[in-house]
Amino acid sequence: MLRKLRTVVSNSRALAGAVLADEPAPIGPPTTNDKEELSFFIDHHTMTIELATIGAKKAVHGDLKVLCGEMIERFRNERDSLHEWFERWYAQDHEPEVTEDQHLVIETLISLDGHEFEVEILKKLIRHHAAGVARGTENTWKSYHGELRQLTRNAISVWSREVCIMQQWLCRWHQVGEWDSKKS
């Protein structure tokens, strides 16, 4: 299963770097959604990199460490593309924002170890990915730029697979069954 995910991730990474616009989008209503989406996903990717960095260092299971390492690389590459598009299309950049609540999540995760850490990092990554899938699914069709639509569609596919894998790990490794991802 991890091998299939790596193939999807590899294809997604190649597309993220390969799809470049020839010119900026026209100024006006069609570009508003793209600017908001770029901002959201730059922030989202930044938080994912933070979570995955902690996971790569503190995870107990090797598979989770590997997945976190792959997330770090993939999300950095995609975030670089998002920054590049933001600059090219809008002649400005978006400085990533990590909220106070997100900083608290990071601090909490840093304070945990072993089984307790792994359960919480898996729950946080699942919830975070699910939020990205929901946002991307809701807004992909509104995107003016084909590059952003393609990256978002690829991301939705990869994140959905990763959510399934991490949910299986929660059950298999930590006997955590059904749980409400909105509360964790």
Poorest-pLDDT segment among 126-140, 146-160, 166-180 = 166-180
Look at residue 87 and tell me whether its pLDDT is greater than 50. yes
With cut-offs at 50, 70 and 90, classify the pLDDT of residue 178: low
Q: How large a percentage of the chain has pLDDT more than 70?
A: 79
Residues 72 and 53 sit within 8 Å (Cβ to Cβ) = yes
The answer to whether residue 130 sits within a structural domain is yes
Residue 58 CB neighbours (<10 A): 18
With cut-offs at 50, 70 and 90, classify the pLDDT of residue 140: confident
Pick from 123, 125, 102, 105: nearest CA to 43: 102
Residue 91 per-residue DSSP state: S
Mean pLDDT of 150-157: 94
Helix (H) or strand (E) holding 108: helix 100-111
Mean pLDDT over the full length of the chain: 85
The three-state DSSP-derived secondary structure of 25-84 is: CCCCHHHHHHHHHHHHHHHHHHHHHHHHHHHHHHCCCHHHHHHHHHHHHHHHHHHHHHHH
pLDDT at 3: 57
Q: Which residue has the tokens 């084909």?
A: 146
The percent helix, strand, coil of the chain (3-state, each to 5) is 80, 0, 20
The answer to whether residue 164 sits within a structural domain is yes
Q: How large a percentage of the chain has pLDDT more than 90?
A: 72
Mean pLDDT of 133-156: 90
Q: Which residues contact 5 (CB under 8 A, 6 or more apart)?
A: 67, 158, 161, 162, 165
With cut-offs at 50, 70 and 90, classify the pLDDT of residue 15: very low
pLDDT per residue as tens digits for the range 36-68: 999 999 999 999 999 999 999 999 999 999 999
The answer to whether residue 21 sits within a structural domain is no
pLDDT at 79: 97
The answer to whether residue 122 sits within a structural domain is yes
CATH number reported for the structural domain that contains residue 88 in this entry: 1.20.1260.10
Domain residue limits at 78: 2-9+31-174
The answer to whether residue 23 sits within a structural domain is no
The answer to whether residue 75 sits within a structural domain is yes
Residue 152 per-residue DSSP state: H
The answer to whether residue 22 sits within a structural domain is no
Q: Which residue has the tokens 């901002």?
A: 39
Mean pLDDT of 77-96: 94
Poorest-pLDDT segment among 17-26, 54-63, 118-127, 139-148 = 17-26
Q: What is the tally of structural domains in the chain? A: 1
The answer to whether residue 180 sits within a structural domain is no
pTM above 0.85, yes or no: no
Question: CA-to-CA distance for 110 and 127, rounded, in angstroms?
Answer: 18
Residue type, 36: E
